[in-house]
Amino acid sequence: MDTLCITGGRVLHPDGRVREGDVVVDRETGTILAVGRDEAVAEHAADAAGTLDATGGLVIPGLVNAHTHVSMTLLRGYADDKPLDAWLREDVWPAEAELTDDDIEVGAELGVLEMIRSGTTAFADMYFATDRVADVVDRAGVRARLGHGVVTVGKGEEEAIADVEESLAVAADLDGAADGRVRTAFMPHSLTTVGEEHLREGIERAAAEDVPVHLHANETRDEVDPIVEERGERPLAYAADLGALGEGNFLAHCVHVDDAEIDLLAETGTAAVHCPASNMKLASGTAPVQRLREAGVTVALGTDGAASNNDLDLFDEMRDAAMVGKLAADDASAVPAGAVVEMATAGGADALGLPGGRIAEGEAADLAVVDLDRPHLTPVHDPVSHLAYAVRGSDVRHTVCDGRVLMRDREVLTLDADAVKARAAEAASDLVARVDEA
C-alpha cells in the first residue's frame, strides 16, 4: 500500500477535541486509514512510504472556502471603499468586461496558490471561463465546486438565454473533472441580477439533473428592498418559489434574513455561506450567524473575491466571523472559537457536498498542518482558540489534498509560485491598461 504518515503532532478531531496523534493516509484512495497513537497506527506508520513531520504542529482538516470568485485576485486592491452596487457597476464589471480566458486562468492560479499556502484545500467558485478554472484545480491538486455565474440584467434576450445555457452546460460538462475533484453547480448571480423567467427555467433544469444551485442572496438592503416592494414577499420566499432552496444548494451571504427566512433555510436543508470580511468591507451588514446556527442551518465560511476582502485566507475569515458574530449578537459568547472552526471545515464540506472537513478513518485525506511553534501562538492553552483567533495563513506548514502533498515545509509542489506571481502581476497591469483605454 502507498501510505503517507503525518507524524509527531496533535490532531483536531471532528468533536472539536485535540489529541496527540499521527494521521496515516492511503495515497491511492486519498482517504485516511488511521488516526491516533496506538499499535495499529504505529504499524501503518512503520510501513509508510512517505512522512510529513508535524512535530510542534496541529493537523487540521483542510479548510473550505465556500464562496469566492478566485480569479478576482487580479483585481485585489483595484477598487476599494465603495458599497456593493457602485463597486460592481463602476469598477468591477467594467474591468471584468476586459478579462480574457487567459487572465482568468492566471488569476485562478494565483488564488489557488494563496489558498494552498494558507491551508485551504477546497473552494466554491462562481465566475466565467470555468473550464480554465477547472484546469487550474486539476493541476494544483485541490477540490472545488465550480460554476459559471449568470447575469441577465442589462442583456438582450438572446444573450441572457445564452448565459443560462452556458451555466447549465458547464455544470454538465465539467462535473467529475480532475479525477472527481471538480464538482459543479448552476450559479445564477443573484435574485436581482437574473430575471425571473431565467431563474425559473435554469433552476428547474438544474434540479432535474441533480445539479446544485448556488447564488448570492440577501447580501445588502438595496438588494432585499426592491424584491419586497415589487413582489410583496421576502427574497428567500421568492427563492423557495423558484425552487432554489433544498439539500445541496447553498447561498452566499444571507446577511439580511428575517426569522421566517432562517426557518426556510433550516427546513429545506439549504446551506448559508457567511462572508464576514466582504460584508464588512462593502458595509453590507452582519449576517445573524448565531441565529442561523441555532436554527440548524449549515453555515460555511467564504472569503468572497479578493477584491472585496482582500485576501483568500480562511484563518482571517474565522477570526472575523467570531468577532463580528459577537458584535452582531451583542454577546461575547456568540459564535465561539469552536463554531468558526467547524464552519471553516465540516460546515464548508457539508455546504459544498464535497469530501473532507473531518479527520477520521475513512474520510478524505484533505489536511493542513499548522505550525504552533511561533511567538504569536505561544503558549498553547487551547489550540482551537488559536485556530480561531491567532493563527495566520502563513503559519501553515504542509497542505495535503486527496492524499497528495500539495505543500511541504511551505513550498508549494504543484504550482511554481514565482512564475504564478509574475504572470498574475503582468496580466493584472495589462488588464488595468485595457480598462483605462476602453
Ligand X SMILES: N[C@@H](CCSC[C@H]1O[C@@H](n2cnc3c(=O)[nH]cnc32)[C@H](O)[C@@H]1O)C(=O)O
Q: Does residue 299 contact residue 293 with C-beta atoms inside 8 Å?
A: yes
Residue 106, phi then psi, degrees to nearest 5:
-65, -40
Contacts of 155 (CB under 8 A, 6+ apart): 163
Residue 220 near which of ligand X, Zn ion, none (CB within 5-8 Å, type-dependent): none
Minimum CB distance to ligand X smaller for 175 or for 304: 304
CB of 360 to ligand X, least distance (A): 34
Residue 92 binds ligand X, judged by CB under 6 A: yes
Q: Rule CB under 6 A: choose which of 151, 185, 265, 318 binds ligand X.
A: 151
Check the annotation: does 163 bind a ligand.
no
Secondary structure letter of residue 287 according to DSSP: -
Of 3-11, 133-141, 238-246, 301-309, which part binds Zn ion (CB under 5 A)? 301-309
Minimum CB distance to ligand X smaller for 11 or for 92: 92
Residue 185: which of 265, 271, 105 has the closest Cα?
271
Burial class (CB in 10 A: 0-12, 13-18, 19+), 46: exposed
Residue 308 near which of Zn ion, ligand X, none (CB within 5-8 Å, type-dependent): ligand X
Secondary structure letter of residue 254 according to DSSP: -
Pattern of binders to ligand X over 71-90, x per CB under 6 A?
Answer: -------------x---x--
Mark out the alpha helices in 175-283 (DSSP H runs). Answer: 196-208, 221-231, 235-242, 259-268, 276-281
Distance CA 347, CA 273 (A): 9
Angle between helix 157-174 and 130-140 (nearest 10): 20
CA 162 to chain centre: 27
Minimum CB distance to ligand X smaller for 59 or for 88: 88
Q: State whether the Cα torsion 167-232-67-70 is positive or negative.
A: positive
Check the annotation: does 44 bind a ligand.
no
Closest chain position to Zn ion (CB): 304
Residue 285: which of 239, 308, 254, 310 has the closest Cα?
254
Closest chain position to ligand X (CB): 149
Q: 10 Å Cβ neighbour count for 255?
A: 24
Distance CA 419, CA 20 (A): 38
Check the annotation: does 313 bind a ligand.
no
Check the annotation: does 189 bind a ligand.
yes
Distance CA 398, CA 421 (A): 20
Minimum CB distance to Zn ion smaller for 7 or for 65: 65
Number of residues that bind ligand X (CB under 6 A): 19
Strand order in 50-53's β-sheet? 31-36, 22-26, 3-7, 50-53
Strand order in 411-412's β-sheet? 18-20, 10-12, 57-61, 367-371, 396-401, 404-408, 411-412
Q: Rule CB under 6 A: choose which of 145, 216, 274, 319 binds ligand X.
A: 216
Q: Does residue 38 contact residue 85 with C-beta atoms inside 8 Å?
A: no
Residue 304 binds Zn ion, judged by CB under 5 A: yes
Residue 146 binds ligand X, judged by CB under 6 A: no
Minimum CB distance to ligand X smaller for 139 or for 155: 155
Residue 261 binds Zn ion, judged by CB under 5 A: no
Q: Rule CB under 6 A: choose which of 73, 103, 114, 128 binds ligand X.
A: 128
Residue 67 binds ligand X, judged by CB under 6 A: no
Residue 250 near which of Zn ion, ligand X, none (CB within 5-8 Å, type-dependent): none
Residue 174: all three cell numbers together: 465539467
Minimum CB distance to ligand X smaller for 150 or for 359: 150
Q: Rule CB under 6 A: choose which of 189, 198, 281, 397 binds ligand X.
A: 189
Of 21-29, 125-133, 195-203, 372-380, which part binds ligand X (CB under 6 A)? 125-133
CB of 259 to ligand X, least distance (A): 24
Q: Which residue has the cell 493563527?
A: 391
CB of 282 to ligand X, least distance (A): 6
Check the annotation: does 304 bind a ligand.
yes
Pattern of binders to ligand X over 293-332, x per CB under 6 A?
Answer: -----------xx--x------------------------
Burial class (CB in 10 A: 0-12, 13-18, 19+), 394: middle
CB of 322 to ligand X, least distance (A): 21
Q: From the annotation, which residues make up the binding site for Zn(2+)?
A: 67, 69, 216, 304
Q: From the annotation, which residues make up the binding site?
A: 67, 69, 96, 189, 216, 219, 304
Which residues in this chain contact ligand X in the complex, by CB under 6 A?
69, 84, 88, 92, 96, 126-128, 149-151, 163, 189, 216, 219, 278, 304-305, 308
Which residues in this chain contact Zn ion in the complex, by CB under 5 A?
304
